[in-house]
A and B are shown apart, each in its own frame.
Chain A
Amino acid sequence: GAGVSQTPSNKVTEKGKYVELRCDPISGHTALYWYRQSLGQGPEFLIYFQGTGAADDSGLPNDRFFAVRPEGSVSTLKIQRTERGDSAVYLCASNPTGTLHEQFFGPGTRLTVL
Chain B
Amino acid sequence: AQTVTQSQPEMSVQEAETVTLSCTYDTSENNYYLFWYKQPPSRQMILVIRQEAYKQQNATENRFSVNFQKAAKSFSLKISDSQLGDTAMYFCAFMKHGVLLGGSQGNLIFGKGTKLSVKP
Contact yes or no, A55 B43, CB < 8 A: no
| Complex partner residue of B102 from A48, A59, A98, A110, CB under 8 angstroms | A98
Which of B44-52, B60-68, B70-78, B79-87 is the contact stretch? B44-52
Contacts of A63 in B (CB 8 A): none
> Residue A97 at the B interface, CB < 8 A?
yes
Alpha-carbon separation in the docked complex, A41 to B111 (Å): 8
Interface 0/1 of A22-50, CB less than 8 Å to B: 00000000110101000011111100101
How many interface contacts (CB-CB < 8 Å) are there between A and B?
76
Max chain B Cβ within 10 angstroms of own Cβ: one of A44, A89, A103, A108: A103
Contact yes or no, A42 B101, CB < 8 A: no
> Residue A93 at the B interface, CB < 8 A?
yes
Category for how many chain B residues contact A? 20 to 34
- Residues B78-113 near A (CB distance < 8 A): 91, 93, 95, 100-113
Alpha-carbon separation in the docked complex, A59 to B33 (Å): 20
Contacts of A41 in B (CB 8 A): 112-113
Contact yes or no, B91 A50, CB < 8 A: no
Listed in ascending order, the chain A residues whose CB lies under 8 Å from chain B are 30-31, 33, 35, 40-45, 48, 50, 55-56, 59, 89, 91, 93, 95-103, 105-108, 110
